[in-house]
Structure 1
Amino acid sequence: MIGEHSSKQYDHELETIRSKVLLMGGIVETQFQEAMNCFRVSNVERADHVIAEDNTVNQLEVSLDDACSHLIVRRQPTANDLRTVMATIKVITDLERIGDEAAKIARTSKSLHARGAIALNHYDMIRTIATATGDLLHDALDAFARLDGKQALQLIAQDEVIDHEFRSIMRNLITFMMEDPRTISSALDTLWVAKAIERIGDHAKNIAEYVIYVVEGKDIRHTKPAAPSPDHTA
């Protein structure tokens, strides 16, 4: 009975942590969406809100790291339970970094619009990569919430699409800067935003990889996982 009670208490503590991680994920997802809105239209108040939310994300990171550390010390989880806690700690770190990148986008947006830079159609240049990254982040958080390893595996390839799009944006911006030096300042701002978006995609991919680590016990970082086999069952 004592063991069963302890197990239930552990499950409750872990689920509480997971719920707060998903709350943190929702905050950074909104941060990213709002940051992109700031980049699309000049809205200083919205940009300031995105930047201020980074403090909330940072506080959540600290409190969740502390909760995970205490859980390990008190419960001494093993096997899959330990993998779950360790992967959750890594997800927390990636979410905090996504918040940082969203805040960078908001700051750059403020600077860009404050200068009245209109030489480039900035938002149209990064619209595709922003949409793809937003979808990847949302789906990665969904896979983490449901611990869906199959979905997580399918998401990893999407990061390569984002990387390819970033390289295309970089080539286009370099061409603009070479053809018209007056665009250099605004083109660099757009490039910094595109790079921040690409990094958010990297962090979202990391979250998907941690889901696979929890579900299958495989660390597939820095590898090219095989595509999931088709399901031929009726």
Structure 2
Amino acid sequence: MDKMTFENHYMKQFDEELEEIRTRLMEMGGKVEQQLQNAIRAIGEADSKLAEEVIKEEQLVDNMEVDIDEACILIIARRQPAASDLRLVMMVTKAVNDLERIGDEAKKIANHALILADENGSSTGYTEVRHLGQSVMSMLSNALDAFARFDVDAAMLTIEEDKQIDQEYKTALRELATYMMEDPRSISRVMNILWVVRSLERIGDHAKNLCEQIVFVVKGKDIRHQK
């Protein structure tokens, strides 16, 4: 095998490895997206079985994170990527961490869904969960779509969505506080809802992190902590 053929073969293998970790990251993203959707459904429908499925799937998400991290370490060790290729590998290692955290928050929501289903009480707070949940689901979906296309413009627009989610979160907190003041008997139940909306707000933050990493890969600019 002459030198040119060897180099072409090497680059082809390298490109395939980069595409593989990107594909696996998208699969993980799809998994946590479904996990979140089911967790929100479990709250609204008082579905204990669905909540338990979300909790069980968390281990699969954890395993996916470990596998992708190991693949990234092997690429760095064997290929010693530079410039944009190195940024992509580093982005994947950070993105899988954010996705794993989203899975953690979905599991927390599912745990609270179990408690709420057992109480079999009123639907107080469900409107806030449904409204904020829809916004967060949309933001996460947009973030994953921007990553799939390496679309910086879409990533920047998605980052802006976090401001709206933060505002909706504050509104939900005020509404839930009002419920507790009007009916002290609802405090225990509403506290569970409070933890749910807190998890949703954190998921929005993680989706924002994903978009910031897209900008880093494509533009080589770190826009974290910038207005």
**TM-score, normalising length: structure 2:** 0.96
Q: Counterpart amino acid of 2:162?
A: D
Give the Cα separation in 1 of the matches to 2:85 and 2:76: 10
Q: Secondary structure at the match of 1:10?
A: helix
1:85 to 85, 89, 93: 89
Give the number of the structure whose residues are more often helix, by fraction.
Answer: 2
Provide structure 1 residue ranges, at least 5 long, that are not aligned to the other structure: 225-234
What does residue 132 of structure 1 align with?
A: 135
Q: Percent identity?
A: 46
Could you tell me how far 1:121 is from its partner in structure 2?
A: 2.6
2:182 is equivalent to residue 179 of structure 1:
yes
Contact 2:21 2:72 in 1 (8 A): yes
Give the Cα separation in 1 of the matches to 2:35 and 2:213: 22
Q: Secondary structure at the match of 1:222?
A: coil
Give the Cα separation in 2 of the matches to 1:40 and 1:163: 21
Q: Deviations over 1:16-71 (max 9, x none)?
A: 11111100000000000000110001211111111111010000000100000010
- Runs of 4+ in structure 1 displaced over 6 angstroms? none
What does residue 232 of structure 1 align with?
A: none
Q: How do residues 182-201 of structure 1 correspond to structure 2 at under 5 angstroms?
A: 182-201=185-204
Provide structure 2 residue ranges, at least 5 long, that are not aligned to the other structure: none
What does residue 16 of structure 1 align with?
A: 20
Give the Cα separation in 2 of the matches to 1:42 and 1:168: 23
Q: Deviations over 1:88-135 (max 9, x none)?
A: 1111000000000001101100001101221x5332122221111100
**How many residue pairs align between the two structures?**
223
2:162 to 159, 163, 167: 159
Q: Counterpart amino acid of 1:104?
A: K
Q: Counterpart amino acid of 1:122?
A: G
**TM-score, normalising length: structure 1:** 0.93
2:67 to 47, 63, 66: 63
- Provide the alpha-carbon RMSD of the alignment: 0.9
Could you tell me how far 1:143 is from its partner in structure 2?
A: 0.6
2:34 to 30, 35, 53: 30
